[in-house]
Structure 1
Amino acid sequence: MKKEQLQKLREDYSKHSLDESDVAKDPVKQFEKWMEEAINSEVPEPNAMTLASVDHKKKPHARVVLLKGIEDGNFIFYTNYDSAKGEELRQNPNVALCFLWLELERQVRIEGRVEKISDEESEAYFKKRPYKSQLGALASNQSAEVPNRAFLEDAFSELEQKYAEGEVPKPVNWGGYKVIPEGFEFWQGRRSRLHDRIKYVFENGNWIIKRLSP
Structure 2
Amino acid sequence: MASQTSTPLEYSTKQNEMNILGFWIFLGAEIVLFSTLFATYFVLEQSYAGGPTQGDLFILKDVLIETFLLLTSSFTMGLAIHQMRDNNKNAMLFWTVLTLLLGLGFLYFEINEFIHYVNEGLTMQTSAFGSAFFTLLGTHGVHVALGIGWVVVLIIQLLQRGITAVTARKFFIVSLYWHFLDVVWIFIFTFVYLKGLM
Which TM class, normalised by the smaller chain length?
Answer: under 0.3
Q: Which has the higher strand share?
A: 1
Q: TM-score, normalised by structure 1?
A: 0.23
